[in-house]
Amino acid sequence: MKKISLVLIIMFASCSTEKPIHFSEAALSDTVYTLNNTVFTVEEMLQKYKGKKVLIDVWASWCGDCIKGLPSVRNLQKEYPEVVFLFLSVDENKDAWRKGIERFQIKGAHYNLPKGMKTGEFVDFINLSWIPRYMVIDAQGKISLFKATSASDSAIVEALKLVI
């Protein structure tokens, strides 16, 4: 019985630390909106930046930690101008999302997950339980950093520096 318990614990621990390198088909089929209300799938959104390194910042206009992280994100934008900074908002209120971009002067590519942070294939895939959330996608479209919750996390810089 102890051996079975130990095996189960190891299995659960290894599953929770899994870091996928590709998005699931379901996550890629989820929809996002642009600032002018054009609807794309996540896959179509990512295809726009094919061949480029992308930092995804999952945020919301009402999120204090997201706003506090913006100066660090701006520093990253200065240090890595070749990187696409893709801001993926989980605001359910599109007006609040648009006003937040303007109010906080957020420069980059902007998309909205209209279902918010609790529902949807993309947020389920990334197991979104906290924002901000940062991810790095390499030039080949692989996830090189699956999860960082602080814009000053050294793992972000490491992923952005990777030459692939």
Q: Please write the tens of the pLDDT for every residue from 79-91.
A: 999 999 999 999 9
Taking CA 73 as the corner, what is the angle to CA 56 and CA 156, rounded to the nearest 5 degrees?
60
Using a cut of 0.95, tell me whether the model's pTM lies above it.
Answer: no
- Spatial separation of the C-alpha atoms in residues 144 and 164, rounded to whole Å: 10
* Overall average pLDDT of the 13-40 stretch: 84
- Domains of the chain and any CATH numbers: 20-161 (3.40.30.10)
- Spatial separation of the C-alpha atoms in residues 37 and 30, rounded to whole Å: 15
* Overall average pLDDT of the 6-35 stretch: 72
